């Protein structure tokens, strides 16, 4: 059973999402929060698997609430029971996209997405994968492009990388948005081998999921926007 907490300052949105998810097999709603501070408090009380976090809320916004919930979660010595956070936003060009992913969010989804897409997103992030709406991915790449232009001396690759050459290949393809099956086809390896590489990459770099792997690949210079 996947336990979900829904945080949104609009009552109709959080109650509507709550009713939708509660009606799905294998999903239970642990609670509803009207702001980020309440989301943090309820999450610590109910320990949900997934938190659907609105970006813009009073008292404490979704970005800061995500930081508080996931602080230290990428560190093996950090909290092992931290929930997965799926950010919900009305704005496909929201300025919080990049910072939320750095804070540890497992993905972004627009509020106008179809109901089936929301349910699918909850199951995806609960399983430990990452999910980004296509428009959000475009924003993320555009942001990295802007940063790389302002930083002409960016390194060509991650310094002192603990990854093997093959793992760097896999990370590069992850950053370009390929699924495990597509990576396997590209490198002509078994899909189970790809999954093993992905797991080792996350472990070596102390990353939560593929979303943070994408951020690392661009920040380190392993992948350059526009290549």
pLDDT in tens, 172-197: 998 887 888 889 999 999 989 999 99
Between the alpha carbon of residue 136 and those of residues 4, 95, 96, 145, 188, the distances in Å are: 23, 10, 10, 14, 30
Q: Specify the DSSP element, H or E, that contains 109.
A: strand 107-110
Mean pLDDT of all residues in the chain?
A: 81
Intra-chain end-to-end CA distance of the chain, in Å: 42
Q: What is the pLDDT of residues 126-161, one digit of tens each?
A: 887 777 665 566 566 566 556 555 554 444 444 557
- Name residue 27's beta-bridge partners: 2
Domains of the chain, first to last: 2-140 (3.40.50.2300), 154-219 (1.10.10.10)
Q: What is the pLDDT of residues 43-53, one digit of tens each?
A: 999 999 999 99
**Whether pLDDT at 165 is above 70:** yes
Q: Specify the DSSP element, H or E, that contains 205.
A: helix 191-205
d(CA 174, CA 186): 12
Between the alpha carbon of residue 200 and those of residues 88, 170, 210, the distances in Å are: 29, 11, 12
For the entire predicted model, the pTM comes to 0.69
What is the C-alpha R_g of the chain?
18
**Whether pLDDT at 171 is above 50:** yes
């Amino acid at each position: 059973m996947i336990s979900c907490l829904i945080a949104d300052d609009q009552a109709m949105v959080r109650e509507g999402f709550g009713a939708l998810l509660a009606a799905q097999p294998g999903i239970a709603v642990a609670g509803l929060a009207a702001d980020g501070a309440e989301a943090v408090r309820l999450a610590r009380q109910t320990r949900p698997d997934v938190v659907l976090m609105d970006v813009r809320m009073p008292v404490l916004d979704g970005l800061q609430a995500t930081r508080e919930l996931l602080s230290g979660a990428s560190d093996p010595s950090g909290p092992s029971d931290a929930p997965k956070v799926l950010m919900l936003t009305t704005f496909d060009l929201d300025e919080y996209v990049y910072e939320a992913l750095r804070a540890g969010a497992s993905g972004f989804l627009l509020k106008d997405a179809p109901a089936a897409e929301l349910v699918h997103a909850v199951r995806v992030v609960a399983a430990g994968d990452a999910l980004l709406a296509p428009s959000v991915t475009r924003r993320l790449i555009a942001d990295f492009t802007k940063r790389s232009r302002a930083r002409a001396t960016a390194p060509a690759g991650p310094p002192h990388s603990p990854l093997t050459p093959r793992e760097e290949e896999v990370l590069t393809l992850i950053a370009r948005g390929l699924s495990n099956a597509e990576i396997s086809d590209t490198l002509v390896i078994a899909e189970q081998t790809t999954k093993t590489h992905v797991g080792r990459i996350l472990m070596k770099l102390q990353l939560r999921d593929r979303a943070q792997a994408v951020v690392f690949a661009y920040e380190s210079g392993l992948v350059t926007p526009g290549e």
